[in-house]
Amino acid sequence: MKDFSFSARHRDLMARDEKSVMGWRYEPRIMFERGQGVMIIDVDGREYYDATSGMMCMSLGHSHPELTETIREQAGRLVHTSSWYSNQPSIEFAELIGSTLPGKLKVVNFAVTGSEANEIAMRMALGVTRKFDIVTVVRGLHGGSLAAEAMTTVAGPRRKGLGPFMMPAKANCIIPPFSFRAPPGCEKNWDEISRKMSEELIEHTTSQEIAAFMSETMLVAGGMIVPSNEWMKWLRKTADRWGALLILDEAQLAPGRTGKLWGFQNYDVVPDIVTFAKGMTAGMAICGAVTTPEIAEKSRGHAGLPWSGTYPHDPLPAAVALKQLQIVLRDKLVERAAALGNHMRPLLDRLKDDFEPIGDVRGMALYQMLDVVTDRESRKPDFAMAERIRYYAALEGVILICVKNFIRICPPLVITEAQIDDMVERIRKAITRAQADSGRTLDLKQSSSLAAE
């Protein structure tokens, strides 16, 4: 923290946070108090690029004037109702979501968190098929509730001590198409090899009473693994062959971050259920699972469906999320994200060319990741270097998410080319400083439930 200069007020807030709030924190514990567009501003008035859109939620950036006005208007009208009653904003949001999806994906069961959305999807699968196994992809992340955690396979301390509580009817047995981490000599054929290995594991590790196959469309926390079209079509066909539903988790992808409104629209595949969260929420607590009328009706009355709670489709978050999606469609931000991704990716690839620790760059459009390694030949993950890069990026005025050796770059969809240029140049400076400061030690365990030990 000697590199940063914080006011007495700032340091006081840091100390109070550490004493009174239980949570994961990056060092230093920067305290933010406002944001504007793609910038986020700390209590000392220092500005930073929000290269993570908060937690991938702020698709339109911070303090968007139309969203701010929607919050004011709806807060003055109606904030919360009993979940036994509906409201116009949630109906219109559900209808607009359905209008953006292909086929019969039209019915939304709302939730508060992405974990809940994925649990709803699993309940739908169990309710429709009357089977039990949920099969997931290794290196996937589907949430932090106990059932969603059982589906999650990015390891880390987050699962320690939870074994007896987690859902037993699961098989985390699909091998990811992660060619960068494939065994030596298998990289070129890993897509096919991973499918064949997965078929063997499905055959031998499941009860063969498979209700659903569930995967992130692009596996983010596990390494920004971008499947091929062939791999995704194989997943769809495999679900059909086993008489199971296909659930695609788009919590971190929709709307538009991959250059398509829904990430799966980059592929020749349509799921039976798709879940949304984060980017669709505009920072509000409204998520959900979308399915067909047939699946919704067949699952009704089984496995606790329809699922609800106290807050899932409250009018305030629904109105804000609705307005955000309307703006995304009106302003053609999906197409803009694709174009901006084409501008940003070569700049990131240049970092890989210029710096040995940047082993690979992966992602789609405005969601990219730097894979930080000790050296190009071994491709061994370098957790400490990645954390140093994140630290110095903050010092250079860029806020990044770093988990293990993976650094995510996912700015708001409203960022400009000039801002991308400046942001990436600051990241370049951060990498240079991180390389020159190999002796710095940072406590990784305090930053995330997924942190390297």
pLDDT of residue 89: 98
Query: How confident is the model at residue 159, as a pLDDT?
Result: 79
**What pLDDT does residue 242 have?**
98
- Measured CA to CA, the distance from residue 71 to residue 46 in angstroms comes to 26
Per-residue confidence (pLDDT) for residue 189, from 0 to 100: 96
Tell me if 63 sits within 8 A of 40, measured CB to CB.
no
Handedness of CA 172, 174, 179, 182 (dihedral sign): positive
The sheet carrying 210-216 orders its strands as: 107-111, 287-291, 273-276, 245-249, 210-216, 133-137, 170-174
Report the C-alpha dihedral over residues 356, 362, 367, 371, rounded to 10 degrees: -40
Helix (H, G, I), strand (E, B) or coil at 241: helix
Cα–Cα dist 113/143, whole Å: 9
Distance in angstroms (rounded) separating the CA atoms of residues 382 and 318: 41
- Residue spans of the domains in the chain: they are 8-63+332-446, 69-330
Give ∠ CA 401-402-405 in degrees, rounded to 5. Answer: 155
CA atoms within 13 A on the CB side of 197: 16
pLDDT at 449: 65
**Which positions ≥6 away from 68 have C-beta within 8 Å?**
none
Strand, coil or helix: what is 343? helix
Containing 395, the helix (H) or strand (E) segment is: helix 383-395
The CATH architecture assigned to 69-330 reads: 3-Layer(aba) Sandwich (3.40)
Half-sphere exposure of 55 (CA within 13 A, CB side): 12
User: What does the alpha-carbon distance between residue 311 and residue 191 come to, in Å, rounded to a whole number?
Assistant: 42
Measured in degrees and rounded to the nearest 5, phi and psi for residue 399 equal -95, 120
CB of 167 closer than 8 Å to CB of 148: no
Pairwise CA distance, residues 112 & 106, whole Å: 19
Q: In 250-345, at which residue ranges do the beta strands (DSSP E only) sit?
A: 273-276, 287-291
What the block records as the tokens of 438 is: 């190999």
Give which of 47, 5, 55 is closest to 400, Cα–Cα: 55
List of E strands, 20-116 = 32-36, 39-42, 47-50, 107-111
| pLDDT per 10-residue tile (average), the chain, 453 residues | 89 97 93 98 98 97 98 98 96 98 98 97 97 96 91 79 83 96 95 98 96 98 97 98 98 98 98 97 96 98 95 97 98 98 98 98 98 95 95 97 96 98 98 89 70 64
Query: Using CA atoms, how far apart are residues 393 and 253, in angstroms rounded to an integer?
Result: 24
Q: Give residue 450's pLDDT.
A: 66
Nearest to 225, CA basis, from 247, 260, 252: 252
Length of the chain: 453
Residue 374: both structure tokens together = 């000790």
Q: Distance between CA 400 and CA 448 in Å, rounded?
A: 13
Fold for the domain defined by 8-63+332-446? Aspartate Aminotransferase, domain 1 (3.90.1150)
Which of 56, 34, 37, 61 is closest to 45 using CA atoms? 34
Q: In this structure, are residues 321 and 280 in contact, taking their beta carbons and an 8 Å threshold?
A: yes
Write the secondary structure of 185-219 as one string of H (helix), E (strand) and C (coil).
CCCCCHHHHHHHHHHHHHHHHCCCCEEEEEEECCE
- In the DSSP assignment, the letter for residue 437 is T
Q: Which tokens belong to 279?
A: 């980017």
- CB-neighbour burial class of residue 101 (10 A; exposed 0-12, middle 13-18, buried 19+): buried
Could you say which DSSP state residue 373 is in? B
H/E stretch holding 445 reads none
Whether the CB-CB separation of 273 and 247 falls below 8 Å is answered with yes
Identify the pLDDT of residue 453.
Answer: 62
Of 17, 254, 2, 230, which is closest to residue 117 (Cα–Cα)? 254
